[in-house]
């Protein structure tokens, strides 16, 4: 009888732990995803890289990205979106707006003229 109680108790602990970890993990993933902001208009500050360097946009909805470069590093004066065949010059302190037509879901990237600084575009 004692053995059965111990086994049942052990099982309850295992189930509890499973519920705790699994439940918590899926909850975190869910809320983490919900917290991820999806916008079609983004302002990106170019200063020692791209801030933010990951943006989330909606598929099929044109996204307007405005870049303002305040970093005099010439490395950042050019921006390239290889998937969209877009190459733009970012003058210092002058906002430049780029419109992207996000056709398919997934992750796309952009980088500076020398491929040193990177940004990510998530299309959801």
Contacts of 21 (CB under 8 A, 6+ apart): none
Q: Considering only 8-16, 44-52, 94-102, 108-116, which stretch makes contact with Cu ion by CB under 5 A?
A: 108-116
What's CA 25's distance to the chain center, in Å? Answer: 19
Out of 44, 90, 112, 121, point to the residue binding Cu ion (CB under 5 A). 112
Nearest residue to 98 (alpha-carbon basis) of 56, 52, 40: 40
What's the closest the beta carbon of residue 25 comes to Cu ion, in angstroms?
Answer: 38
Residue 116 in the binding site for Cu ion (CB under 5 A): yes
Q: Map residue 23 onto helix, strand or coil.
A: helix
Residue span 38-77 as binding mask against Cu ion, x where in contact by CB under 5 A, dash where not: -------------------------------------x--
Residue 114 in the binding site for Cu ion (CB under 5 A): yes
Contacts of 37 (CB under 8 A, 6+ apart): 56
What's the closest the beta carbon of residue 113 comes to Cu ion, in angstroms?
Answer: 5
CB 63 within 8 A of CB 57: yes
Residue span 72-91 as binding mask against Cu ion, x where in contact by CB under 5 A, dash where not: ---x----------------
User: Residue 63 and residue 72: Cα distance in Å, rounded?
Assistant: 26
Given the rule CB under 5 A, which residues bind Cu ion?
75, 112, 114, 116
């Amino acid at each position: 009888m004692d053995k059965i109680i111990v086994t049942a108790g052990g099982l309850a602990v295992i189930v509890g732990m499973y519920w705790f970890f699994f439940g918590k993990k899926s909850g975190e993933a869910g809320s983490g995803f919900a917290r991820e902001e999806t916008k079609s208009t983004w302002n990106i500050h170019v200063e020692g890289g791209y801030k933010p360097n990951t943006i989330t946009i909606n598929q099929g909805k044109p996204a307007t990205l405005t870049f303002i470069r305040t970093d005099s590093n010439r490395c950042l004066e050019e921006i390239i979106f290889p998937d969209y065949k877009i190459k733009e010059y970012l003058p210092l302190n002058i906002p430049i707006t780029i419109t992207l037509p996000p056709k398919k879901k997934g992750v796309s990237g952009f980088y500076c003229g020398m491929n040193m600084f990177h940004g990510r575009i998530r299309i959801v």
